Structure 1
Amino acid sequence: MRALILAAFAVVAVPTLAHAQCGGNKTAIGTLAGAAGGGLLGSQFGGGSGKTAMTIAGVVGGGVLGNQVGQRLDAEDCAEQRAAAARRQQRVAEQRSAAYHDPSSGRACREVQSTAFIHGERQIVTGTSCREPDGSWKMVD
């Protein structure tokens, strides 16, 4: 009986362990926890071979349900990771600059680019920023 229950558990859980996306593990954890909980719940019903059948049904049903919940959570995590990476790339692109020295003042200056929304449209805005004596940067045009 135990071998049969472990086989059902493996059929539900093992394929899940290979499919973690974006480093997420909620699918695997959900599948394993669902299978364990379903098996425990199923074992409370039936008698004899019926009890074994109910335990196996609980393992499979709980594993499938836990898998679905875990996949949804992993998908949400992946979407957030991709959005965060896109935000980081945008910040890097906006902060790129070319440094030079202003011949009239001798200060270090740089051309800066930023994104602005003008009349509801996204536009790239460029300007010049120079380092002040106190170390801060100030837009000069």
Structure 2
Amino acid sequence: MKVLKIAGALALGAMLAACQTNGMGTKQIGGGLIGAGVGGLAGSQIGDGRGQLLATGTGAVIGLLVGSEIGKSLDRADKLYAERTAQQALETNPSGQPARWRNPDSGNRGQITPTRTYKQSGSYCREYQTTIMVGGKAQTGYGTACRMPDGSWQMQ
């Protein structure tokens, strides 16, 4: 289960972070680099010794590939649609009810579905599943977000 949560955070983080750069080709490069970093960090949480080193390297490579592919397609508007939808869904949707977004300019779309709500260290947290469609290809992820004191939801 821990691997699925890490993979979800990796996928969503790479999907959303890949949009932070702009200009021709820089979204793909930036997405790849951010994905590699997130993937390496996620991989470092698995195993120990040589197994941990292998997991870190594998996570970095997977993150690089996912972040690069998404980064070359998503733009700043896609990221805003996804983030707004995620914040609203995590705050108001019951578990199992998806919230969808679509960028009419790019045609990219996605959804986030809260799957479970629980309390951790005094804060409410929600597990979620997300799918983003870019160029007809679906990228899915699973993760956890917790409500911050200001009322926003932070992806873990």
Range of TM-score over shorter length: 0.3 to 0.5
More helix by share: 1
Greater length-normalized contact order (CA 8 Å, ≥ 6 residues apart): 2
If the length of structure 2 is used for normalisation, what is the TM-score? 0.33
If the length of structure 1 is used for normalisation, what is the TM-score? 0.36
